[in-house]
Amino acid sequence: MNRFAFTNLSLRTRFLVAMGIVFIPLVVVAVGSSVFLGHAASTLNRVVEQPVYKLQTTTRLQNQIRKAHALVRDYAATPRYTLKTQFELEAQAAEAVFIEMLGKPFFGPREQTLLANARREWKDSMVLADVVFSSDASRATLFQLDQRVNQIMFTLEQMYETFYAEINAQRAQINESEKGFLLIISATVGLGLLIALVGAAWLARSVLVPLREFEKGVAHFSNENLSYRLTLNNQDEIGRLALEFNAMAERLLAHRHKLEELSVRDGLTGLYNRRELEKRLHQEIQRARRYRRSLSVLMLDIDHFKNVNDHYGHQAGDEVLITVADLIQLNVRPVDVVCRYGGEEVAIILPETDAAGARAVAERIRGTVENSVTTTPQGDTVHVTVSIGLAVFPRDGDTAASLIHAADQALYAAKQEGRNLVRSH
């Protein structure tokens, strides 16, 4: 018989040994997990903030360059000293954004190269702009300037590809963090469960119940259910760990929503993009077919939008697009889906809306736009109208593509008949 066998020890000694074995891993779990969660939350905050900053700053730089370019074009059409002064301010602001971005250490080598190329093109553009402001510029000079600015925009657009690649990589990093967190918690929880069962029944009540709750939370996380929250109210290390767990879940969920929103929204107007339109329209058609409900689609186009860009500049055109997008959203329901289809075209999905209801919505939007004006940054007022085409499921089309095509044909008819009209397919 083994004199040192565990069963040969007294109950009191066995209980004390079990208590010691249980106590040490629990302290390690509480302290280690708190440190891990705090570090993970801090890392995730930095990971998400950087791409958001890059996207916002690159968009700001593009807008700044567009402003400066528009002023040069305006000066070439109608020379005014104030335009030159405004241009110098806008050019300085654009250069400041270049310097700010190039000074950030978290821009990668490819992004730094693209920024440097864009800045070099921008300096060349400044030389051409000086020619325009110092003398009567030829059409060739203006054409060269336009080409330079277009090249800058193309270079900056290339940066978005690296940003989105970085965001996707960060999503993978977040998933890996979740897996690591699952591994750590599963190992420590498993160890705690085993020791607690060997130790004593009261340890099972005080340790296993909260640990099982953690297991449930980790399982939800592994299934990407970030809305799940732990319901532990313990006033000990496990309770604090649960608070950290829930706080991290909140941050992860907020960051995911932020990234998802960036992927489905148009950067200028804030409307849904074309890809999201196709997805939502497909879903609404399936729902309308299944429950035999009405469904309508509107295609809207701003009349003579090219004239706005040509006369007032692209910045004014952007302001008009933003104004029209805001007016549309004020005249539709929360369940309606408003998307920028392309250029100055907007598509609107109207669930559970028949032809009469869709026409009423379209006329309301058309009248609102007709009675509104947009003030440009230069102080000019721009008045625009819209033409709207209407198509109804399944009368005009029973697929997303056919319904969009029918609404587009109706829009074409509205434009052919004089614009500022609503027409059905």
Q: For each of the chain's 425 residues, which pLDDT tens digit applies?
A: 444 444 344 435 545 666 666 666 666 666 666 666 666 556 555 556 777 888 888 888 889 989 988 888 888 888 888 888 898 898 898 889 888 888 888 888 888 888 888 889 989 888 888 888 887 667 888 888 889 889 988 988 888 888 788 778 777 777 777 777 777 777 776 776 676 666 655 555 566 667 777 778 778 777 777 777 777 776 666 677 778 878 888 888 887 777 777 778 888 999 999 999 999 999 999 999 999 999 999 999 999 999 999 998 989 999 999 999 999 999 999 999 999 998 999 999 999 999 999 999 999 999 999 999 988 878 889 999 999 999 999 999 999 999 999 999 999 999 999 999 999 98
DSSP class per residue in 94-159: HHHHHHHHHT-TTS-HHHHHHHHHHHHHHHHHHHHHHHHHHS---HHHHHHHHHHHHHHHHHHHHH
Report H helices in 200-236.
201-203, 209-222
Give the strand pairing for 381-382 and 374-375: antiparallel
Q: Provide long-range contacts, Cβ within 8 A and 24+ apart, for 263-270.
A: 263/164, 266/339, 266/340, 267/59, 268/318, 268/321, 268/322, 268/340, 269/321, 269/322, 269/325, 269/340, 270/325
| pLDDT at residue 350, rounded to an integer | 97
Element (H, E) at 345: strand 345-351
Residue 409 CA from chain centroid, whole number: 32
Query: Facing residues of 374 across strands?
Result: 382
Residue 91 CA from chain centroid, whole number: 28
Q: Are 338 and 383 in contact (CB under 8 A)?
A: no
Element (H, E) at 349: strand 345-351
| pLDDT at residue 152, rounded to an integer | 87
Length of the chain: 425
Residue 414 CA from chain centroid, whole number: 34
Q: Are 208 and 193 in contact (CB under 8 A)?
A: yes
Helices 11-77 and 314-330, packing angle to 10 deg: 130
Distance CA 77, CA 336 (A): 42
